[in-house]
Amino acid sequence: METFADGFGRRFRYLRISLTEVCNFRCVYCLPNGYQKVAGPALMTPLEIERLGRVFSHRGVTKFRLTGGEPTVRRDLGDIIGRLSALPGGNKVAMTTNGWNLARYIEEWAAAGLTNLNVSVDSLEPDVFRRITGHNRLNSVLEGVDRALDLALPSVKLNAVLQRSAVGEGFDRFADYVRTRPVAVRFIELMRTGDNLAFFEDQHVPGSRLLAWLADHGWSPCLRGPDDGPAIEYRHPDYEGRLGLIAPYSPGFCDSCNRLRITAAGKLRLCLFGDDGVDLRDLLASDDRPALEARIESALAMKPRGHRLAEGRSGDTRNLSQLGG
């Protein structure tokens, strides 16, 4: 069976699955007032997620990423990781987390089959971290990262959103952090969403600022793997870890798109910054695999060539916790 593909010849080997919109952080660029509960359909169950994963694995997906909101607020997270890791094909099971529960549960998640871990750490300065997230938990989060490294997970990465008020000496601090740690730190350009226009206009920093710093300090780009995400990572002979950039505003960013998204309620999203989505929930309930494949293929025929962020259009994405970024 061939890999899922769209009308532009892009093949999809990477599926991002949101487990919830709930987040227990109050990041200034996403949920500055905290998560506000809204009425909506129930979350997908572990069985529905397994059925979804089985179909995508059968059609060439080799990497599943669990996102949110904050995926670790779900008590059945270990069960979900285990179900996806048990699917045929030796898939990678990744997770993006704010690190709140990392130090406490990383051993359990690794035992269930977690292979790749991304932790959101927007600053290594405690005061700046607290200002951005609303919590004084930097030391606890970094303790969890160190425990993940002790477990020798195949991939441990940090994500940091580029913000004008937080850049400062941030590049140097993160470079020092990866000097002796096999960690990739990826800086992500701040993206405009439906709820953050004023913050975006005040705080957006172009990725070119990081690229200039990397060039000035002797870092060179790495080769990309077939199921890698959108980051371009850089190496330096004197550092064990890597630095990288995710630059959604750069020309051609969407040309090599290899990932699809599923919302916590079971909708297929063709683009992070698109509108609505294609509901798969009814077919997950009945485990109708042929019909599910057919619906996904039909939806992919409508996938656009790229987002329209440069035009100030972010679709119906209110904030990144809605879909997991």
Question: What does the pLDDT look like over 91-143, one tens digit per residue?
Answer: 899 999 999 999 999 999 999 999 999 999 999 999 999 999 999 999 999 99
Distance of CA 97 to the CA centre of its chain: 9
DSSP 8-class letter at 65: E
* Tokens found for residue 159: 């994500």
User: In whole numbers, what is the pLDDT of the chain averaged over residues?
Assistant: 90
Helix (H, G, I), strand (E, B) or coil at 220: strand
Beta bridge partners of 232: 245
Banded model confidence at residue 78, pLDDT cuts 50, 70, 90: very high
What are the distances in angstroms from CA 304 to CA 13, 248, 256, 273, 282?
18, 15, 13, 11, 25
Q: Residue 42: which residues within 8 A CB-CB, separation 6 or more?
A: 265
The pLDDT value given to residue 255: 83
Which residue bears the tokens 């359909």? Answer: 41
What is the spatial distance between Cα 45 and Cα 49, in angstroms, rounded to a whole number? 6
What percentage of the chain has pLDDT greater than the value 70?
Answer: 93
Domain boundaries, the chain: 14-322
* Tokens standing for residue 228: 């890698």
Assigned CATH class of 14-322: alpha beta
pLDDT classification of 40: cutoffs 50, 70, 90: confident
Could you tell me the pLDDT band of residue 85, with boundaries at 50, 70 and 90?
Answer: very high
Tokens 């506000």, residue located: 36
Residue 305, SS3 per DSSP:
coil
CA 177 from chain centre, in angstroms, equals 21
Q: How confident is the model at residue 324 (pLDDT cuts 50, 70, 90)?
A: low
Residue 210 to residue 227: CA distance in whole angstroms: 24
pLDDT band at 56 (very low <50, low <70, confident <90, very high): very high
Measured distance CA(292)–CA(51) in Å, rounded: 10
- The pTM (predicted TM-score) of the whole model is 0.93
Can you tell me the distance from the alpha carbon of 260 to that of 236, in angstroms, rounded to the nearest whole number?
32
Q: What is the pLDDT of residues 212-228, one digit of tens each?
A: 999 999 999 998 877 77
Q: Is the pLDDT of residue 311 over 70?
A: no
pLDDT band with cut points at 50, 70 and 90 for residue 3: very high
Please report, as a single letter, which amino acid is at residue 265: A
**What gap in Å lies between CA 205 and CA 188, rounded to an integer?**
10
